[in-house]
Chains A and B, each alone.
Chain A
């Protein structure tokens, strides 16, 4: 029997120990990362209060679909694969509540043993307590296995295949050559972006973001970001690690196709690996239409009721994310003691004074009027991000271009909810906030001067900054 991915509530319990352990083990002398905070920050709740337009039921329907376990065939939720990273949105967007980012226990680690991907080999970079990940090869390989650095790839290399599943027929697929990619340094990782509060981000008008950019244009930190743009209409795109996606609908549609292999109304065709696409081989015929329903595997359901059931999954996912409330700041516990509010406030002031807030802008703007819901209208977006993409240097570069963003440009990661994130940076390379901060400095990074300022602070002041960050 194919088991669903791990349930979030279980992970919360595990994490309450694991997160703190990480911090205590790895923190350098001096300031200490308070680690993942366990008290609720309101994540997982909806932003909807008055609901004059009836979207609450759409949110709840989207939440339910977000947690559905997809199968290849023979169930109510078919279409998984033939390649995938997970079989359930909420298995990756798991923590601290459904819609978040990766949990302390990585469900991908058990996919081979629990029958989700029985014939696959778990890549070595997927570990039991490591970050939930997707992998990309920055460059294509030549036919002899050498890396062709003049042929950028950057597409997602799905970790698993449906081969061996009883619902996958005769489909037999090889996984991408992950061991070889590791040996040739031709693989990078991404962790799931949390989706709390994204309805607010979606509803920021371009002019608001441009005005914020203009107000920060002259700074004395050497920072000068730009925006990624949607190729279709030229407006500012804003979702994903490189701000490559324009809307939540697009974000959901791409993820459904790329991460789970489920074709939909936005991404209609089965997705081969980038190299299969490049070579024109595509997917084998016996790995197509495994759901037996034709394409797309997710579409509108005209005959269903109630209203929310008419929507396709992608629209339902988008509604779920759109109406997820942003995380609320909360108190911080460090070594068993609650950090005084004055310390948090001092940390916030330092965070701004040394230049962090130039990019991690507490409130880049206020939303425009929303026709969805009044709670999305005229609201400050306390995301701690300017939504711009910035040069982050050789230390964070992943040599993957997305839209207008180059291999070392990343969107300023929103920091709301940071107090309850386990894995940090785009690839989840660390659980330690100090390590993540220091990783902002390297050749070519816009953040170098800010990090130098951070390093000018005393350990006690750095502690205040860390405490503040974990209050978000």
Chain B
């Protein structure tokens, strides 16, 4: 700032009025600073513990079609209709907090299970149930087997691998698994993964007490999983739509209108759609989108028309993913793999 010691103060006779609710300027009113007239209706409070102003968030075109993040714990049972999972929780363990919304890279926290306030056991720990949408991951993985292999190969130096806790099936379905532990924290992690609807679904069990973790694994046999659950081929079907990566391509699209995203958010907008037997988009699930993006994309997808997908000669519903907005980083090849050539 330049040195200016004295400048004339311009005084204008008029001043604009303050809003009626604003505290008055000194000397202009008898209303005390910071007060407004007593009015019960004016005292409505902003609710605490509620997120009213959201950034990019998940949403869906209808509320009746299940979505991955729609699971809940009721009567000590975790139920996720989208994935067809019913998982009775260990006694006195509970979901204290809901997880965050899905990320723009397709990462979900389905449930975080912790000891309840009534838990008296000697060991603490947690059960984290996650899902990774395999359509949107920028990791070099195409199924749950790949994902766990990637995790093992890229384990941080804080941890050391230990023998896998699982041999054979869980709840009648095959799982892939691995385990590691932290010498510093003396915590053990059991990671048990399968694939459902083109998502790698992981049960991540953590505790110092391997006996407790073993009991968690044993309890998981009480789960109900869909018939398709398999670590390398959970590709929908049955009661679910068939899930196919990159199905929305030129070969399958008859009509397409590109959404014009007008606000420069510089974000990726991952979208899962379900295409009905007639080739129209019947359901849209936004993993992470701002409201303006949601509207524009919804309007555009209403115009899309696909060739019906045939299975055994019959049209079936298809679930696929489309990434709007900013492209994602291309996955780096896994160790020992050559980069793919486009």
Contacts and interface: CB of A to CB of B under 8 A. Distances in A.
Interface of A: 73-79, 119-121, 123, 138-139, 141-147, 149, 152, 154, 161, 163-164, 169-170, 172-180, 183-186, 210, 214-215, 217-218, 220-222, 224-226, 229, 231, 234, 262, 275-276, 279, 281-293, 297-299, 301, 304, 312-313, 346, 349-350, 352-354, 390-391, 393-395, 397, 399-401, 404-409, 441-446, 448-449, 452-453, 455-457, 461
Contacts of B103: 224-226
Nearest to B208: A456
B52 A138 contact: yes
Contacts of A391: 100-101
Interface string B32-59: 1111110101111111111111111100
Interface stretch (B76-84, B183-191, B278-286, B316-324): B183-191
A163 B25 contact: yes
Looking at A173, A174, A409, A441, the one whose CB has the most chain B CB atoms below 10 A away is: A174
Contacts of B266: 229, 234, 404
A446 B126 CA distance: 14
Nearest to B104: A226
A224 B132 CA distance: 11
Interface stretch (B150-158, B161-169, B215-223, B307-315): B150-158
Given A184-B45, A226-B104, A301-B2, A289 B10 contact: yes
9 contacts: A214-B329, A229-B267, A234-B264, A284-B12, A352-B158, A406-B53, A408-B51, A444-B101, A446-B109
- Label chain A's interface by main secondary structure: loop
Nearest to A284: B15
B4 A78 contact: yes
B51 A169 contact: no
A456 B100 contact: no
Contacts of B130: 220, 222
Interface stretch (B16-24, B246-254, B296-304): B16-24
A50 to B, nearest CB: 31
B44 A177 contact: no
Contact of A353 (B8, B26, B159, B207): B159
Given A350-B184, A405-B55, A178 B43 contact: no
B11 A286 contact: yes
A237 to B, nearest CB: 10
Nearest to B12: A285
Contact of B207 (A172, A354, A456): A456
Contacts of A298: 1
Contact of B53 (A154, A231, A286, A312): A154
A221 B128 contact: yes
A311 B186 CA distance: 55
Contacts of B39: 144-145
A446 to B, nearest CB: 5
A8 B189 CA distance: 47
Nearest to A278: B19
Contact of B51 (A120, A179, A289, A407): A407
Given A172-B28, A444-B99, A149 B52 contact: yes
B281 to A, nearest CB: 26
Given A286-B12, A449-B128, A222 B112 contact: yes
Nearest to B150: A218
Contact of A152 (B13, B49, B53): B53
Interface string B91-134: 00000111111011101010010100000000011101010100
A163 B267 contact: no
Contacts of A215: 154
A177 B18 CA distance: 11
B294 to A, nearest CB: 14
A457 B185 contact: yes
A177 B46 contact: no
B133 to A, nearest CB: 11
A71 to B, nearest CB: 10
Contacts of B126: 449, 452-453, 456
